[in-house]
Structure 1
Amino acid sequence: MTDLTGAVWRKSTRSGDNGGACVEVATNLPGLVAVRDSKDRHGPVLTFNSDNWSAFVTATKGS
Structure 2
Amino acid sequence: MPFWAAVSTNSFGVVLAGLLVNLLVNLGLKYAIITGIIIFIISTFMWSILRNFKKSLSSSS
Which has a greater percent of strand? Answer: 1
**Do the two structures share a fold, i.e. TM-score over 0.5?**
no
Larger radius of gyration: 2
Which has a greater percent of helix? Answer: 2
Give TM-score scaled by structure 2 length: 0.31
Which of 1 and 2 has higher RCO (CA within 8 Å, sep 6+)?
Answer: 1
